[in-house]
Amino acid sequence: MKLSSLITLAAGFVSVAAALPVKLQKRNSRWDYESNALYGVNIGGWLVLEPYITPSLFEAFGGDDSTKPVDEYHFCKAYGPDQASQVLQNHWSTFITEQDFEEMACYGLNFVRIPIGYWAFQTLEGDPYVQGQVDYLDQALGWCQKHNLKAWIDLHGVPGSQNGFDNSGLRDEIDWQTTEGYVQVTTSVLSQIAQKYSGADYNDVVIGIELVNEPLGPALNVDELVDYYNDGYQIVRNEGDVPVIIHDAFIQFNHYWDNVLNTQIDPSVWDVILDHHHYQIFSVGELQRSTDDHVSFACNIGWQESGEYHSTLCGEWTAALTDCAKWLNGMARGARYDATYDNSQAVGSCENLYVANYDYFTNEEVRSKYRKYVEAQMDAYTFGKMNGWVFWCWKTENLIEWDFKQLVSLNIIPQPLTAREYWDQCGYIKY
């Protein structure tokens, strides 16, 4: 693949068409994924709680970490419906406001990915979850329209959990496929989402519906997951022209997804985008990498991701170089970095990594290290075989490595987005 130095960075990231390999011409609706890259953020910790993003909501329970709720399911159960609703309504109305969308646009972003759980649309008998999130989702989409941002609606949590992570709403269980009726409830919710957001009111803002976030492929029946993807595709497409987003389920070997909803094998299939998430901190081997090793790995990802049969995006990535952030691995869990969680081999001490200390990141050596890694990922996920990136996440209460807004203020995320202190680390540009 060749890139002219006249394209891309100096041109302001408007189009990557000239950088992409020639592919079968696909029909595109709402957004031309083949020609126009997305530069966005995830609005994490808002309509689906994650303790590490908004720790104050969980610290309010007092006591030590072992007594606090570990996810939104247990958060609502501990409070009860009335108090949970009151607390969450306050959170939904204050954590994200229109000002956030104004700032996103000012930072040169053109896209947001909005996670939401099944329980916002339909609850199971005995569910402790409270509802009200849909009103805020609709408000957010209105702000997107006003500030010229596109959006994906991301079904982030499904009944019984698809991955056992707290980001699914329910931690330590993966019963989505094994409990009768759970997949059917999921398709019912998907149908509700498709019916509403395929309408004309949203045709200039909603450019994708993600069928499920991060299904944990190694813990699931992948054949059944493929069946769900095929069924979900039909549900969404039967309602209109919204593109369908499928996650790789952490199965990326041997072009596993090439034959799933493949636009070349089946010409009737169109607008299917494959979502990859890339982090380099959730194993000891990754944590042991030097900054240059992290950069090299990110660049290789950019080259290797298959874009032949689907448009592909990096739907989640971060500036983080450790897993030291409090509760990142879950409530009452430590970090792999200092061997307080999941391993006995320490890489270093989390005490010396001030991941919530703004002043730590103003040290020029520290700032430059993070900037180098961030720029490499931005290049890799734009000028390799992907069509853009979505940073996780827009804001947190106090975790700088994961906070787009604070990283911009620290000159770690470049402004404008086209600016580079480390030019062409991945070797994409050919002079």
Q: Which of 50, 72, 210, 214 is catalytic?
A: 214
Asked if residue 347 is part of any domain, the answer here is: no
Containing domain of residue 216, as a range? Answer: 17-333+365-409
397 flagged as catalytic:
no
27 band by pLDDT with thresholds 50, 70 and 90: low
- With a pLDDT cut of 90, the percent of the chain lying above it is 80
Least confident stretch, 11-25, 39-53, 398-412: 11-25
Q: What does the alpha-carbon distance between residue 45 and residue 72 come to, in Å, rounded to a whole number? A: 10
Q: N- to C-terminal Cα distance for the chain?
A: 13
304 band by pLDDT with thresholds 50, 70 and 90: confident
Q: Which of 286, 316, 375, 401 is catalytic?
A: 316
Per-residue confidence (pLDDT) for residue 143, from 0 to 100: 98
Asked if residue 427 is part of any domain, the answer here is: no
Q: State the residue for tokens 């961030």.
A: 374
Asked if residue 400 is part of any domain, the answer here is: yes
Provide DSSP, 388-400.
EEEES-S--SS-G
The type of residue at 340 is: T
- In 292-344, DSSP assigns E strands to 311-316
Per-residue confidence (pLDDT) for residue 23, from 0 to 100: 39
Tell me the per-residue pLDDT of 201-246, one tens digit each, with 9 for 90 and over.
999 999 999 999 999 999 999 999 999 999 999 999 999 999 999 9
- Residue 382 clears pLDDT 60, i.e. is over it: yes
Asked if residue 404 is part of any domain, the answer here is: yes
Query: In angstroms, how far apart are the furthest CA atoms of the chain?
Result: 63
59 flagged as catalytic:
no
- CATH number, domain of 163, equals 3.20.20.80
- Residue 10 clears pLDDT 70, i.e. is over it: no
Residue 390: which of 9, 17, 28, 37 has the closest Cα?
A: 37
DSSP classification of residue 209: E
Asked if residue 340 is part of any domain, the answer here is: no
Q: Are 72 and 127 in contact (CB under 8 A)?
A: no
Q: Into how many domains does the chain fold? A: 1
Mean confidence (pLDDT) of the chain: 90
Query: What is the pTM assigned to this prediction?
Result: 0.93
Residue 391: which of 316, 295, 302, 298 has the closest Cα?
A: 316
Asked if residue 342 is part of any domain, the answer here is: no
Provide DSSP, 109-166.
--EEEEEEEGGGT---TT------HHHHHHHHHHHHHHTT-EEEEEEEE-TT-SSSSG
- With a pLDDT cut of 70, the percent of the chain lying above it is 91
Asked if residue 319 is part of any domain, the answer here is: yes
Asked if residue 352 is part of any domain, the answer here is: no
Per-residue confidence (pLDDT) for residue 57, from 0 to 100: 98
The token pair that represents 202 in the structure block: 């949203």
